[in-house]
Amino acid sequence: MTDIPSDPPTGRRVAFAVYGCRLNQAEAEAWKASLAQAGACLVPATEEADILCVHTCAVTAPAAREALRAIRAFRAKDQGRRVLVSGCAAALLPPGLADCVIPHAEKAQWLERVLAFLRGLGALAPLPAPPPPRRTRASLIAQDGCDAFCAYCIVPHMRGAPVSEPLPALLAHAKSLIDQGYAEIVLTGCNLALYRDPISGVGLDGLLARLCELPGEGRFRLGSLEPCVIDDAAIARRIAASGGRLCPFLHLPIQTASDTLLARMGRPYSAAKLRAALDAICATLPALGLGADWIAGLPGESEADHAATLRLLADYPFTGAHVFPYSRRPGTPAADFPDQLPPARIAARATALRQAAAQTRARALRTFIGRPLTVIPETCREGHWVGHSAEYLRCRLSAPATRGRPTPFTPTAVRGDCLV
């Protein structure tokens, strides 16, 4: 996590606006840390900034539009303000909108280019002694890119073929995060299932085994995992055998449970196979935190397709859900499918999915009452520490705790989306 100086020195102040997936968030966190180290004055709110770094996302049209709106609003307040744009949608924004554009293909030079830009503005000043790091959760980027080309998804078109971090470098990075005292490290990638060490060919399961062997106390959490890797529940067995080192939590971008739509979107499995995998996972990890992404209103989605997705959502103990209304992304095959749904129907189906997800989540959360959990306290509000358990359940503690220190906690009730 990046530390933001509470009392920044005078000078040009830099804020970030980050859109999209966890990978985008992780990249921005790493860049913020490097800018702070180089003497940039980071501020948390765009209103306080003179320079805005916008890390964009092209996965949905609203995400790209939101970035555009933010840039225009930022500039409108003061024409002297500067804007730097990066990320998947950088190349799609109107020309002349930003002072510096770093397209996705040049992402590796982001830091170098931004530092040069800031130096040119005289915006790098030596900072006073940095505050101590907040050691709760850090991201470890293992992989980027995807070549699955699901029909609706823009990611392979923007991020290109999969590229994995070499295993030795990844293990060294993980060890350094543990040594810095991070309580939790989130393994992140565009399609983590595609992780392959470029030299040895070791895949995701091998990477997890090696991470578990690292000395120290930090726990590891898997980021979003495409459902194709959960076929034989090997990942669940790896988690179960890790002695708590790997968090019992999976987040699966399931999107739909309709066989017709799975085939049409190019997903290489059926709904029955998905259910068999979920059965095996839930049997291996009975107290699992289970998150999922769902898309409402994919082209051609019939009432029966929608009902199949609602049924799956109700049949398994999903503790978290992200519901996305289908967003037509030019350049993807699905954008040209003739049977697009009207926006009102997409919105209604998204609402239905959100309601079903809330009911499923409430049911699933109740099964954790009385069950001992380990929580990492993150923030303290009105005398109560709030953090996440290994299962990624939001927990509110009544006993004293220390930020970032794993704390035993047995919930007695559910309040809203929180175990208390």
- Is the CB of 225 or the CB of 395 nearer to ligand SF4? 225
Residues near 323 by beta carbon (within 8 Å), at least 6 away in sequence: 293, 294, 295, 296, 350, 353, 354, 357
Is there binding between residue 164 and ligand SF4 (CB under 6 A)? no
For the sheet containing 100-103, what is the strand order? 41-42, 13-18, 51-56, 82-87, 100-103
- Closer CB to ligand SF4, residue 150 or residue 277? 150
124: which DSSP letter?
Answer: B
Evaluated on CA atoms 185, 106, 94, 98, the torsion sign reads: positive
Pairing of strands 249-255, 289-296: parallel
Q: Smallest Cα–Cα separation from 404: which of 188, 171, 138, 213?
A: 138
What is the distance between the alpha carbons of residues 98 and 113, in angstroms, rounded to a whole number? Answer: 14
Closest CA to 104 of 61, 137, 144, 164: 144
141 is a contact residue toward ligand SF4 (CB under 6 A): no
149 forms part of the interface with ligand SF4 (CB under 6 A): yes
User: Does 335 participate in binding ligand SF4 (rule CB under 6 A)?
Assistant: no
H/E stretch holding 55: strand 51-56
Stretch near ligand SF4 under the rule CB under 6 A, chosen from 25-33, 101-109, 144-152, 168-176: 144-152
- Contact mark string toward ligand SF4, 87..126, x via CB under 6 A: ----------------------------------------
Cα torsion for 190, 73, 34, 7, to the nearest 10°? -140
Residue 14 CA neighbour count, 13 Å, CB half: 29
Nearest CB to ligand SF4, comparing residues 325 and 404 = 325
Identify the helix (H) or strand (E) that includes residue 347: helix 343-366
Which is nearer to ligand SF4, 149 or 367 (by Cβ)? 149
Amino acid at 287: A
Nearer to ligand SF4 (CB atom), residue 166 or residue 268: 268
Residue among 274 and 390 whose Cβ is closer to ligand SF4: 274
Q: Which of residues 190-249 bind ligand SF4 (CB under 6 A)?
A: 190-191, 226
Query: For residue 372, what are the contacts with CB-CB under 8 A and spacing of at least 6?
Result: 408, 409, 410
Among 124, 155, 225, 353, binds ligand SF4 (CB under 6 A): 155
Binds ligand SF4 by CB under 6 A, chosen from 14, 85, 153, 261: 153
Name the minimum Å distance from CB 22 to ligand SF4: 12
User: Rounded to the nearest whole angstrom, what is the least distance from the CB of residue 239 to ligand SF4 in the complex?
Assistant: 21
Contact between 331 and ligand SF4 by CB under 6 A: the answer reads: no
Least distance (Å) between residue 23 CB and ligand SF4: 10
In the complex with ligand SF4, which residue's Cβ is closer, 156 or 317? 156
Sole window of 107-115, 149-157, 330-338, 399-407 interacting with ligand SF4 (rule: CB under 6 A): 149-157
The single residue among 43, 91, 148, 380 that binds ligand SF4, judged by CB under 6 A, is 148
User: Of 101, 124, 150, 252, which lies in the binding site for ligand SF4, with binding defined by CB under 6 A?
Assistant: 150
Q: How many residues bind ligand SF4 (CB under 6 A)?
A: 11
Tell me whether residue 156 or residue 223 sits nearer to ligand SF4 (CB atom). Answer: 156
**Helix axis angle, 303-315 relative to 271-284, nearest 10°?**
10
CB of 149 to ligand SF4, least distance (A): 5
Do 297 and 325 form a contact (C-beta atoms < 8 A)?
yes
Rank residues 165 and 226 by Cβ distance to ligand SF4 and give the closer one.
226
Per CB under 6 A, 186 contacts ligand SF4 = no
Residue 55: closest CA among 20, 8, 22: 20
Given CA atoms 379, 385, 391, 392 in this order, what sign does their dihedral have?
negative
Residues that bind ligand SF4 (CB under 6 A): 146, 148-150, 153, 155-156, 190-191, 226, 253
